[in-house]
Structure 1
């Protein structure tokens, strides 16, 4: 019972900044365990200091989802969710040239793209509001870790003999840090059915706290981290209600 209470209180504190008093009424216990799969798209960019101008880079994401609902606290359904996902990240550099009026315009003749494949494991507090046997709105928030399993780069019409200092720090090199961690959070809508399972649509943002390049005082970058917007669909079926 204490584990279920703590799960709900921690989730609520993370998502809405509210700490319930110890004397508050205990919610109704739940023991709903669901598993399933998810899939969607990533819109990727990377935060660099010094800055690298970028286009949004699209990638795919998908994997397995497991969720445990521990209790209902007033109108709030509380639980925890963990996922094991394959995720494509990276960045697409934006090149510019001077336009007719002197303003910079996109140069489509040159391109540099770095694609990175990760195995991501988010550990999420799950809060939902709505009909337990129908439509619900939910919020997910928690830490995420990732492991780099592959990387590639593609260049088009790049003069390798006239690279800037920023380009020299990126082009042709491998990432220094293969382990990634940060915070993931988002929300969406879930439709729970009696026999067909649950269908979820979610938007999520991942903010990396780690850097994928070395960022010590002797290194070129002082910040090099991922930022990813994800839109995904999830299907879950109950193993225990």
Structure 2
């Protein structure tokens, strides 16, 4: 995975020179704006911790530079700075897959931990369709960096009062509930697919589905640590608005 990550970084660094060497229609378009959306996330623990998706939000600023149209593909680089919520929501069940009832509260035990990050994705983008007026489909892919800010735990039981007898597997010890976030720096790969609608003087409106796969770990993963892997996974639906601050002067661009 680290080799794949380095390959994407190299691609993004060399993309402008590669595109300049191609025979295509030059573009010099710069657009900026803002984005927001809904996230559904979990953490890939090993050993596995049963989970459901944890909901959250993402919001931030977007900048896009379009450099060329090569055949029918519109080539661009997209960068964002986002405030994003990720984390995990545990499914605490017994060996029959029934909810574990806490002896003190007589309620099904619940635990979730929301992690807030500053995320900086940098993606190469390909689009197909209209640039100035109409619809354009797009695909984008690239590395993403994350910087942990804080976390928030929501639970309905005290750790020392958890129902150990009915829990199974790693949920009996629930190390993930007590360990502080140890790795403040996160990194991985982001991939998105979406549709853009553009209108002169109004700007660009984008709807995107995006997936982030973390290559780093939330917790340490040495032989003495309880988890060999604890990477972030996040699926998000995003809306973005962009307006042009620099645009290619070419009457043939549609």
Q: Which of the numbers 188, 192, 200 marks the counterpart of 1:186?
A: 192
RMSD: 2.2
Unmatched tracts of structure 1, length 5 or more:
12-21
Counterpart position of 1:109:
108
Q: Are the counterparts in 1 of residues 28 and 66 from structure 2 also a CA contact under 8 Å?
A: yes
Q: Secondary structure at the match of 2:202?
A: coil
Counterpart position of 1:17:
none
Q: Which of the numbers 222, 226, 235 marks the counterpart of 1:220?
A: 226
Counterpart position of 2:251:
none
Runs (4+) of structure 1 exceeding 6 A deviation are: 8-11
| 2: CA distance, partners of 1:159 / 1:143 | 37
Counterpart position of 2:9:
none
The structure richer in strand per residue is 1
Relative distance call for 1:186 and 1:79 in structure 2 (3 A) is same
Counterpart position of 2:123:
124
Q: Secondary structure at the match of 1:160?
A: helix
Counterpart position of 1:45:
42
Counterpart position of 1:7:
15
| 1: CA distance, partners of 2:243 / 2:221 | 44
Counterpart position of 2:139:
139
Q: Secondary structure at the match of 2:31?
A: strand
TM-score normalized by structure 1? Answer: 0.86
Q: Secondary structure at the match of 1:104?
A: coil
Q: Which of the numbers 13, 31, 35 marks the counterpart of 2:32?
A: 35
Q: Are the counterparts in 2 of residues 111 and 158 from structure 1 also a CA contact under 8 Å?
A: no
Counterpart position of 1:152:
152
- Once the two structures are TM-superposed, the CA of residue 219 in structure 1 deviates from its matched residue by 1.0
- Once the two structures are TM-superposed, the CA of residue 171 in structure 1 deviates from its matched residue by 1.9
Counterpart position of 1:19:
none
Q: Secondary structure at the match of 1:170?
A: helix
Counterpart position of 2:89:
92
- Once the two structures are TM-superposed, the CA of residue 159 in structure 1 deviates from its matched residue by 5.2
Counterpart position of 1:198:
204
Q: Are the counterparts in 1 of residues 99 and 108 from structure 2 also a CA contact under 8 Å?
A: no
